[in-house]
Copies of this chain bind each other. A is one copy, B any other.
Amino acid sequence: MNDTISLLMNHRSVRKYTDRPVTQEQLEAIVAAGQMASSSSNVQAYTVVAVTEPELKNKLADYAGNQAYIRECPVFLVWCADLSRLKNAADTHAPEARSYEGAVENFVVATVDVALASQNAAVAAESLGLGIVYIGGIRNDIEGVSEALGLPDHVYPVFGMCVGYPDPQHGAGLRPRLPLEAVLHMNGYNAEQSRRGVEAYDETVVRYISERTGGQRTSSWSEQMAAKLTAPSRLQLRAFLESKGFNRE
């Protein structure tokens, strides 16, 4: 154990912020730390749009399902997968060649690249005493978000991230995770470990939520996941991504 691991182990999503601003210097330190994450073949296939203008932030909050913390946080980061720099490079230096920005491989590369950078940034932010929460909700109306930010072709907004000083009056508990045995397998996939882990976790989650809600009956993790997976999942995403040049082949 050390201070960095202790910081990682104490992560919780923050959805209530104080008025204290995030300085430009902090923002730049956070994103610079993000940039030092590994990148596939050094493609650095991401751009982060930092939104501080209240009107634009409000618009994005509407698109993301009206989440108040997007309005209230001082800085809202929109993490975008960005193959446009690569596409421009190919157009300039290999104008005759066929290029593969539409391959699912490059869709995966860009999506992973942006996620690695964002997680480094999240850790950097928390090390400065700031709190964050990831916002997948920007994919609810991904076309609206994309237009509001003026995103060109070969760029798509993957997720948002609120950043700000946590309101100490709204401290959230540490949410328990799946038991380690469910997600760490040795020398081969072990479905039985996964199954046992989920069984134990189902009980943990019921106990955890029940304790925090004063004994109200709640669903297990498996029940929550069943409900999630059987709800239509942003099915317009496929056509949007293709229209932007991603995931075409």
A149 to B187, CA, bound (A): 7
Is A172 an interface residue when CB atoms closer than 8 A count as contact? Answer: no
Q: Please give, as numbers and ranges, the residues of chain B lying within 8 Å of A151 by CB-CB distance.
A: 189
A155 to B182, CA, bound (A): 14
Task: Tell me whether A123 and B4 are in contact in the complex, defined as CB-CB below 8 angstroms, given that A85-B198, A88-B195, A194-B85 are known contacts.
Answer: yes
Is A73 an interface residue when CB atoms closer than 8 A count as contact? Answer: no
Check B8–A56 contact: CB distance below 8 A: no
Q: Mark A148-182, 1 if CB is under 8 A from B, else 0.
A: 01111001001100000000000000010110101
Task: Tell me whether A183 and B48 are in contact in the complex, defined as CB-CB below 8 angstroms, given that A89-B222, A189-B152 are known contacts.
Answer: yes
A39 to B159, CA, bound (A): 12
A10 to B188, CA, bound (A): 32
Is A213 an interface residue when CB atoms closer than 8 A count as contact? Answer: no
- Residue of B7, B111, B225 touching A90 (CB-CB under 8 A): B225
Is A28 an interface residue when CB atoms closer than 8 A count as contact? Answer: yes
Range for the number of chain A residues in contact with chain B: 35 or more
Sample (26) of A-B pairs whose CB atoms are under 8 Å apart: A3-B4, A4-B123, A5-B29, A8-B36, A32-B180, A35-B183, A38-B122, A41-B136, A44-B177, A47-B184, A48-B183, A48-B184, A49-B187, A52-B187, A88-B195, A88-B222, A97-B226, A100-B235, A108-B111, A108-B237, A109-B136, A109-B233, A119-B120, A150-B188, A152-B189, A235-B249
A: residues with CB less than 8 A from B are 1-5, 7-11, 13, 27-29, 31-33, 35-38, 40-44, 46-53, 56, 80, 82-90, 92-94, 97-101, 103-106, 108-109, 111-112, 115-116, 118-120, 122-124, 127-128, 132-134, 136, 139, 149-152, 155, 158-159, 175, 177-178, 180, 182-189, 191, 194-195, 198, 221-235, 237-238, 241, 247, 249
Which 9 residue pairs are nearest across A and B when measured between Cβ atoms?
A115-B115, A93-B226, A4-B127, A119-B119, A97-B230, A105-B233, A89-B222, A89-B225, A105-B234
